[in-house]
């Protein structure tokens, strides 16, 4: 069975630009969560979506936004990129919001 997939794998952007990251959940999973992981730290929660509705939002600025589509895939958008946005962005899917979360391979974003 296919796991969680994310695209792109790597991305290099410059300050002030915009980026869109994509995630496809495990088949049958209806909930998607996004996390940011900087080097040496554990993942930090950004968003959770379930049935296309935002169920939770972490302590991130409004430059971060996300959405979930009818096929349960999801996009994370970040506007006005800062150097500090450089990180591994992880998508996790779960059957329901409170079930075990299974992570994708991540998108490595570098902001120059």
Partner 1 sequence: EDQVTQSPEALRLQEGESSSLNCSYTVSGLRGLFWYRQDPGKGPEFLFTLYSAGEEKEKERLKATLTKKESFLHITAPKPEDSATYLCAVQALGGSNYKLTFGKGTLLTVNP
Query: Rule CB under 8 A: which residues touch partner 1?
Result: 4, 31, 33, 35, 40-45, 48, 55-58, 88, 90, 92, 97-98, 100-106, 108
Q: How far is the CB of 67 from partner 1 (least distance, A)?
A: 17
Q: How far is the CB of 44 from partner 1 (least distance, A)?
A: 7
Instruction: Measure the CA–CA gap between 32 and 72, rounded to whole angstroms.
Output: 8
Instruction: Measure the CA–CA gap between 94 and 31, rounded to whole angstroms.
Output: 5
Beta bridge partners of 102: 93
Please provide the size of the chain in residues: 112
In the complex with partner 1, the residue whose CB is nearer, 65 or 97, is: 97
């Amino acid at each position: 069975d296919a796991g969680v997939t994310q695209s792109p794998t790597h991305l290099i952007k410059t300050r002030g630009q915009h980026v869109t990251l994509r995630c496809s959940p495990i088949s049958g999973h209806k909930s998607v969560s996004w996390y940011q992981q900087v080097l040496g730290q554990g993942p930090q929660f950004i968003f959770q979506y379930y049935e296309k509705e935002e169920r939770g939002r972490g302590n991130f600025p409004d430059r971060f936004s996300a959405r979930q589509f009818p096929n349960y895939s999801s996009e994370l958008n970040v506007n006005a990129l800062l150097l500090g946005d450089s990180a591994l962005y992880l998508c996790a899917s779960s059957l329901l919001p409170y079930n075990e979360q299974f992570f994708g391979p991540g998108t490595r974003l570098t902001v120059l």
